[in-house]
């Protein structure tokens, strides 16, 4: 009885695609769940045995999931963002990010979020392109990019916020050797290759910059900043345990 009521309600609420009201409801329910799920989640994260994950940023957006405080495009535990690409819209947005497993000595968060305990939000709209902020040096030193966020869904996504987190012990950043990787060549033409804009080995992303393009008067992402990771001390014995498999069930 109640089931029939639901079907009738759906049949009346949804635009008609079939003379059979039940078929019509099935169609719309399918369209709502299947297509939105496919568009957003399928092949969204692709991970490799090397510890790298590439995250597709297409059609992402729509707000923080406050219940879990999750970002929509975010690296996993022990990973840092190291590269971006947009092969077909000249970095008007960011189509994919590359997350690299670079902190193997970090004790794992065993799936519990957040993966990094100390983080800041940077707002591109306020020209906060770098993780480091000289107004808040102690809060922002040794922070790297781990997530980006956009309020609106677009392909490629046009992020407005960046999440920067502190390197876990025993890691720090070497600010004397930071580099900038540009998304365009000397004449201003944007690269359209895959993963051209990527930090060198053992560097992590610490900033993303955008600028108005004089030819199309639109904001393009023009560089990423990359800083090298330093291992500053031998980690304590308890922490070293995490770097290799446990061999006993009792310890
Ligand atoms: C980012 O800055 C813009 C412009 O000042 C502001 O409108 C927006 O609310 C800020 N976003 C966050 C999350 O603070």
Instruction: Tell me which residue has its CA closest to atom 11 in ligand 1.
Output: 123
**% of the chain with per-residue pLDDT over 70:** 71
For residues 223 and 183, is the Cβ–Cβ distance under 8 A? yes
pLDDT of 100: 96
Is the backbone of residue 247 left (phi > 0), alpha (psi -120 to 50) or beta? alpha
Protein residues whose CB sits closer than 6 Å to any atom of ligand 1: 123, 125-126, 161
For residues 215 and 90, is the Cβ–Cβ distance under 8 A? no
59 pLDDT higher than 80: no
Characterize the bridge pairing of strands 96-101 and 79-85: antiparallel
pLDDT band at 42 (very low <50, low <70, confident <90, very high): very low
Cβ density class 225-235: b for 16+ within 10 Å, e for less:
bbbbbbeeeeb
Q: Which of 60-74, 136-150, 207-221 has the lowest mean pLDDT?
A: 60-74
pLDDT of 38: 43
**% of the chain with per-residue pLDDT over 90:** 53
Q: How far is CA 168 from CA 25, 102, 132, 171, in A?
A: 50, 11, 16, 6
Kindly state the DSSP code that residue 187 receives in the 8-state scheme.
T
- pLDDT mean across residues, the chain: 82
Domain ranges within the chain, ordered by starting residue: 46-235
Q: Record the tokens describing residue 34, joined without a space.
A: 């299947």
Q: Record the tokens describing residue 142, joined without a space.
A: 């040794």
For residues 149 and 69, is the Cβ–Cβ distance under 8 A? no
For residues 201 and 179, is the Cβ–Cβ distance under 8 A? no
Distance 121 CA to ligand 1 centre (A): 11
CB-based burial label for 209 (10 Å; 0-12, 13-18, 19+): middle
pLDDT band at 152 (very low <50, low <70, confident <90, very high): confident
Phi, psi of 5 (to 5 degrees): -60, -45
CB-based burial label for 67 (10 Å; 0-12, 13-18, 19+): exposed
pLDDT tens figures, 194-209? 899 999 999 999 999 9
What's the average model confidence in pLDDT over 61-73? Answer: 58
pLDDT band at 41 (very low <50, low <70, confident <90, very high): very low
Distance 125 CA to ligand 1 centre (A): 6
Can you tell me the distance from the alpha carbon of 206 to that of 164, in angstroms, rounded to the nearest whole number? 8
The model carries a pTM of 0.76
Q: Which carries the bigger pLDDT value, residue 4 or residue 114? A: 114
Distance 87 CA to ligand 1 centre (A): 28
């Amino acid at each position: 009885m109640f089931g029939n009521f639901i079907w009738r309600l759906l049949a009346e609420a949804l635009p008609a695609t079939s003379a059979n009201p039940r078929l019509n409801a099935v169609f719309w329910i399918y369209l709502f769940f299947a297509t939105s799920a496919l568009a957003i989640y399928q092949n969204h994260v692709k991970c490799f045995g090397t510890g790298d994950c590439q995250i597709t940023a297409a059609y992402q957006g729509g707000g923080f999931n406050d219940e879990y405080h999750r970002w929509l495009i975010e690296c996993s535990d022990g990973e840092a963002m190291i590269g971006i690409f947009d092969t077909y819209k000249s970095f008007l947005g960011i189509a994919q990010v590359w997350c690299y497993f670079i902190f193997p000595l970090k004790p794992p968060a065993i799936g519990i979020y957040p993966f990094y305990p100390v983080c800041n939000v940077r707002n591109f709209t306020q020209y906060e392109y770098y993780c480091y902020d000289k107004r808040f040096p102690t809060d922002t030193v040794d922070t790297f990019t781990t997530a980006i966020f956009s309020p609106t869904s677009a392909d490629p996504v046009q992020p407005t916020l960046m999440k920067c987190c502190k390197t876990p012990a025993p890691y720090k950043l070497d600010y004397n050797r930071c580099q900038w990787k540009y998304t365009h060549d000397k004449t201003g033409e944007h690269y359209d290759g895959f993963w051209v804009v990527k930090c060198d080995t053992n560097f992590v992303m610490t900033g993303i910059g955008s600028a108005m393009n004089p030819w199309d008067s639109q904001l393009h992402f023009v560089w990423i900043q990359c800083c090298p990771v330093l291992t500053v001390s031998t980690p304590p014995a308890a922490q070293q345990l995490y770097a290799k498999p446990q061999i006993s069930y009792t310890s």
